[in-house]
Amino acid sequence: MAASKGGGPAIGIDLGTTYSCVAVWRHDRGKVIANDQGNRLTPSCVAFTRAERLVGEAAVNQAALNPTNTIFEVKRLIGRRFRDESVQEDAKLWPSKVVAGRDERPLIVVQHKGKERQFRPEEISSMVLAKMRETAEVYLGKAIKNAVITVPVYFNNSQRQATIDAGTIAGLNVMRIINEPTAAALAYGLEKMPLSNKRRTVLVFDLGGGTFDVSLLNIDPVTNKKNKGVFEVVAIAGDTHLGGADFDSEMVKYALREFTRRHGKMDIHSNQKALRRLRTACERAKRMLSSTAQTTIEVDSLHDGIDFCATITRSLFEELNKDLFSKCMKALDKCLCDAKMDKSSVHDVVLVGGSTRTPKVQNMLREFFGGKQLCQTINPDEAVRTAPPSRPPFSAAAKPTMGVIPRNTAIPTKMAKLFTTLYDNQTVVCFPVYEGESADTRDNNLLGKFALTGIPPAPKGVARLHVTFDIDANGVMNVSAEDLDTAKKKSVTIINHGGRMPKEEIARLVPIEI
Ligand code: ADP
Ligand code: MG
């Protein structure tokens, strides 16, 4: 197990959209820990009731009876703004109410112990993290402070910050944020594989519960003790709304067609409880079909006292989902195409996410890569968390700023650019710092701003203002500026405060008090 600087054991947490998982590092490999229900995966679900707060299985089990106070998939909201298109779209589909907070960040509204309460996404995530921490503490029999948390490659500065804040609220010291595909590649120890000193190209195919991410990584191999392998994200592709839940939905639609065919048109479509029970049965059947050729979808007294039982074969399952499967392959093509790379130059294909257990997905991948052996020996829904927690900084995908740092730049990174004055005798220059790819700054995310003052009066364009953009291993950015001519080393550092929970507020939330 890795001892970290702050002392004590460190844990690795994969805070998934649908499931989370925690691992400790021991005997040179990550050990995934089962929760109080004996499950290695804990649903990333939090529920509020008249009497208590529930996390994990307990929350899922009462979801049908308490839909508006049961929060699923909060990872889709974390670190985003209320008016973001994706937040608006997701909020439409959620049974719980989402409103805009005073800083434009989304707030989730629930009834808890008879009172209305509003939670920031990072607070809900912190409850899941606290549960994962407890799971590890029970297993190790000691308090745990230090954690590494994984996030998707495409998470921006604000989403990473909010994830760190969620950890802090859960009483954790977040040592590092690691990109999920990087963590998966580390779990397989690919950075240690000799390849005659060539860079290793790894494709990570992550098909989870609600999201699908393909990442192409380059790994500089470990050549000596100091060099621990540098990971570079070459390209990413995927779909934020494609995953196991969509396969379940196709099965639910099929079951509903069967039900109406047998019993005539009934109002089952508006029976929320029936639909949820049917979905659970379909998901169970789907998992079965990964190891058997045929199974049944069975629900007692599904609707109007009528039992439902239907046989489903693997080939029917594949037929029902063929469009979704081909979407996956298109994204894979796009990722390689964006990287201008041929599939033959991929050294390893790593399967991540519970849905890659689907035989059809594995077969398609194997065929696509010409019969290649896939990295699938580690449980795919655990691969992300079995990475060693105390690794040195890795590269990751970074985000652009003011057109200075291009998309997909490996981090940590430092870049500098010279700026100058726009007007004659200008003594103050304001630097807004944006994150985003649009040429129109209004479409980008304002991370913060600062002013450089005391510039000696001069004609416009004379001053030389040296601005440095520095992104650390967690993907958190610092910007500093210096007037080169005055030699007065006045530099300013800004960290992203945009929409982040103020420090005092985080402090107030530790430990969680509900
Ligand atoms: P997350 O997206 O939260 O990272 P996971 O990687 O744990 O989630 O994947 C969860 C998804 O994997 C769920 O949709 C689940 O139904 C699916 N899944 C788990 N086991 C299997 C299996 N044996 N066959 C097919 N799908 C599976
Ligand atoms: Mg995942």
Q: If you average pLDDT over residues 2-16, what whole number do you get?
A: 74
| Encoded amino acid at 71, one letter | I
Residue 29 or 462, more confident? 462
Q: CATH number for the 10-178 domain, one of 3.30.70.240, 3.40.50.150, 3.30.420.40, 3.30.460.20?
A: 3.30.420.40
What spacing in Å lies between the alpha carbon of 459 and ligand 2's midpoint? Answer: 55
Q: What is the 3-state secondary structure (H, E, C) of 282-312?
A: HHHHHHHHCCCCEEEEEEEEEECCEEEEEEE
| CB distance 9 to ligand 1 below 6 Å | no
Strand order in the sheet with 477-483: 413-419, 465-471, 477-483
| E-state strands within 162-277 | 173-179, 200-207, 212-220, 230-239
CA dihedral over 222, 226, 229, 233, signed as positive or negative:
negative
pTM, 2 dp: 0.79
Judge whether residue 186 has pLDDT over 50.
yes
Predicted pLDDT at 512: 32
Q: If you average pLDDT over residues 321-344, what whole number do you get?
A: 96
Predicted pLDDT at 8: 76
Q: Confidence class of residue 6 from pLDDT cuts 50, 70 and 90?
A: low
Weakest mean pLDDT among 30-44, 117-131, 201-215, 241-255: 30-44
Q: Which of 40, 149, 241, 286 to mutate to test the pocket of ligand 1 (most atoms within 8 A of CB)?
A: 286
Judge whether residue 341 has pLDDT over 60.
yes
Alpha carbon nearest to ligand 1 atom 2, residue: 208
Domain 396-493 sits in CATH at 2.60.34.10
Kindly state the tokens that stand for 185: 């590649």
Domains 10-178 and 180-241+323-368 share a fold: yes
Q: Which of 279, 287, 321, 363 to mutate to test the pocket of ligand 1 (most atoms within 8 A of CB)?
A: 287
| CB distance 221 to ligand 1 below 6 Å | no
d(CA 464, CA 481): 10
What spacing in Å lies between the alpha carbon of 355 and ligand 2's midpoint? Answer: 10
Weakest mean pLDDT among 157-171, 320-334, 460-474: 460-474
Q: Give bridge partners of residue 110 from the DSSP assignment.
A: 117
Judge whether residue 332 has pLDDT over 50.
yes
Q: If you average pLDDT over residues 303-310, what whole number do you get?
A: 96
What spacing in Å lies between the alpha carbon of 313 and ligand 2's midpoint? Answer: 27
What spacing in Å lies between the alpha carbon of 40 and ligand 1's midpoint? Answer: 12
Alpha carbon nearest to ligand 1 atom 6, residue: 353
Q: If you average pLDDT over residues 276-290, what whole number do you get?
A: 96
CA neighbor of 171 nearest in space, from 413, 422, 511, 500: 511
Predicted pLDDT at 477: 65
Q: Confidence class of residue 509 from pLDDT cuts 50, 70 and 90?
A: very low
Q: Find out if CATH 3.30.420.40 is the number for domain 180-241+323-368.
A: yes
CA dihedral over 163, 164, 166, 171, signed as positive or negative:
positive
Predicted pLDDT at 488: 55
Residue 399 or 302, more confident? 302
Query: Could you identify the atom of ligand 1 that is nearest to the CA of residue 207?
Result: 6
Judge whether residue 205 has pLDDT over 80.
yes
| CB distance 244 to ligand 1 below 6 Å | yes
DSSP calls for 18-71:
SEEEEEEEETTEEEE---TTS-SSEE--EEE-SS-EEETHHHHHTTTTSGGGEE
What spacing in Å lies between the alpha carbon of 249 and ligand 1's midpoint? Answer: 14
> 308: exposed, middle or buried (C-beta count within 10 Å: 0-12, 13-18, 19+)?
buried
Q: Please tell me whether residue 98 adopts helix, strand or coil conformation.
A: strand
CA neighbor of 24 nearest in space, from 8, 36, 10: 10
What spacing in Å lies between the alpha carbon of 146 and ligand 2's midpoint? Answer: 21
d(CA 488, CA 329): 56
Judge whether residue 441 has pLDDT over 60.
no
Judge whether residue 135 has pLDDT over 70.
yes
CA neighbor of 149 nearest in space, from 128, 180, 120: 180
Question: Catalytic positions, please?
Answer: 14, 75, 180, 206
Alpha carbon nearest to ligand 1 atom 22, residue: 287
What spacing in Å lies between the alpha carbon of 187 and ligand 2's midpoint? Answer: 14
Kindly state the tokens that stand for 363: 């077969």
Judge whether residue 398 has pLDDT over 80.
no
Mean of all residue pLDDT scores within the chain: 83
Predicted pLDDT at 400: 26
| CB distance 356 to ligand 1 below 6 Å | no
Q: Which of 381, 384, 385 to mutate to test the pocket of ligand 1 (most atoms within 8 A of CB)?
A: 381
Predicted pLDDT at 71: 97
| CB distance 401 to ligand 1 below 6 Å | no
d(CA 331, CA 265): 38
Q: Confidence class of residue 385 from pLDDT cuts 50, 70 and 90?
A: low
Alpha carbon nearest to ligand 1 atom 24, residue: 287
> 236: exposed, middle or buried (C-beta count within 10 Å: 0-12, 13-18, 19+)?
buried
pLDDT tens digits for 53-93? 999 999 999 998 899 999 999 999 999 999 999 999 999 88
Predicted pLDDT at 272: 83
Q: Count of alpha carbons within 13 Å of 360, Cβ hemisphere only?
A: 24
Judge whether residue 415 has pLDDT over 90.
no
| CB distance 18 to ligand 1 below 6 Å | yes
Query: Could you identify the atom of ligand 1 that is nearest to the CA of residue 19?
Result: 3
Domain 244-320 sits in CATH at 3.90.640.10
Kindly state the tokens that stand for 177: 């944020």
- Give exposure, 432-468, as e/b (b: 16+ Cβ within 10 Å): ebbbbeeeeeeebbebbebebeebeeeeeeebebebb
Predicted pLDDT at 189: 83
Judge whether residue 476 has pLDDT over 90.
no
- Residue 228 zone, left/alpha/beta (φ > 0; ψ -120 to 50; rest): alpha
Alpha carbon nearest to ligand 1 atom 23, residue: 287
Predicted pLDDT at 380: 85
| Encoded amino acid at 333, one letter | D
The torsion defined by the Cα of 440, 443, 446 and 449, in degrees rounded to 10, comes to 20
Ligand nearest to the CA of 40: 1
d(CA 133, CA 343): 40
Tokens 């510039």, residue located:
455
Residue 29 or 484, more confident? 484
Contact in structure between 420 and 443 (CB atoms under 8 Å): no
Judge whether residue 227 has pLDDT over 80.
no
Alpha helices per DSSP H over 321-458: 322-338, 359-368
| CB distance 208 to ligand 1 below 6 Å | yes
Domain-wise residue ranges, the chain = 10-178, 180-241+323-368, 244-320, 396-493
Give Cα 446 distance to the centre of its chain.
Answer: 22
Q: Confidence class of residue 228 from pLDDT cuts 50, 70 and 90?
A: low
Alpha carbon nearest to ligand 1 atom 13, residue: 209
d(CA 508, CA 510): 6
| CB distance 131 to ligand 1 below 6 Å | no
d(CA 185, CA 366): 18
Q: Confidence class of residue 390 from pLDDT cuts 50, 70 and 90?
A: very low
Contact in structure between 156 and 399 (CB atoms under 8 Å): yes
DSSP state of 457: P
d(CA 336, CA 138): 43
- Highest mean pLDDT of the ranges 258-267, 415-424, 473-482: 258-267
The torsion defined by the Cα of 414, 417, 418 and 423, in degrees rounded to 10, comes to -120
What spacing in Å lies between the alpha carbon of 456 and ligand 2's midpoint? Answer: 53
Contact in structure between 176 and 147 (CB atoms under 8 Å): no
Judge whether residue 472 has pLDDT over 80.
no
Q: Which of 13, 14, 18 to mutate to test the pocket of ligand 1 (most atoms within 8 A of CB)?
A: 18
Ligand nearest to the CA of 285: 1
CA neighbor of 183 nearest in space, from 22, 360, 365, 414: 22
Predicted pLDDT at 442: 55
